[in-house]
Structure 1
Amino acid sequence: MSGENGIATEILNNSTSDDSTEHEFEPQFEPIITLPEVEVSLNEEHEEELVKLRAKLFRFDTTDVEQSQWKERGTGEVKILKHKENHSCRVVMRRDKTFKICANHFITPWMSLKPSFGSDRAWVWTVMADFADETAKTECLAIRFASAAIANQWKEKFEEAQKIVTEQCDLYRNNPVGDSITDSGQSSEEDPESPKQEAKKDEQKGDEKVSSASSSVTDTKETESAKEVTDKLANLDVTK
Structure 2
Amino acid sequence: MRTPVLKSLLSSSSRKKAKLYRFDKEGNQWKERGVGNVKLLKHKVNGKVRLVMRQSKTLKICANHFVIPTMTVQEHSGNDKSCVWHAADFADGNLKEEMFCIRFPSVEKDTVVASNTKEAVKDEAKTEEDKKDEAASKA
Normalized against structure 2, the TM-score is what?
0.90
Q: CA deviation at 1:163?
A: 2.2
Aligned to 1:170: 129
How many Å separate the matches in 2 of 1:81 and 1:60?
A: 24
Aligned to 2:94: 135
Of the candidates 16, 19, 31, which is equivalent to residue 71 of structure 1?
A: 31
**Quick check: which one's helix share is greater?**
1
Normalized against structure 1, the TM-score is what?
0.54
How many Å separate the matches in 1 of 2:15 and 2:7?
A: 13
Q: CA deviation at 1:105?
A: 0.4
How many Å separate the matches in 2 of 1:99 and 1:44?
A: 17
Q: CA deviation at 1:154?
A: 0.8
How many Å separate the matches in 2 of 1:40 and 1:76?
A: 23
How many Å separate the matches in 1 of 2:135 and 2:71?
A: 26
Q: CA deviation at 1:118?
A: 4.1
Aligned pairs (5 A) from 1:216-235 = none
How many Å separate the matches in 2 of 1:140 and 1:162?
A: 17
SS at match of 2:134: coil
Aligned to 2:14: 51
Aligned pairs (5 A) from 1:90-239 = 90-127=50-87, 129-176=88-135
**Paired AA for residue 101 in structure 1:** I
How many residue pairs were aligned? 137
**Quick check: which one's strand share is greater?**
2
Contact 1:51/1:157 (CA < 8 Å) preserved in 2? no
Q: CA deviation at 1:68?
A: 1.4
SS at match of 2:22: strand
Moved more, 139-148 or 159-168: 159-168
How many Å separate the matches in 1 of 2:33 and 2:112?
A: 22
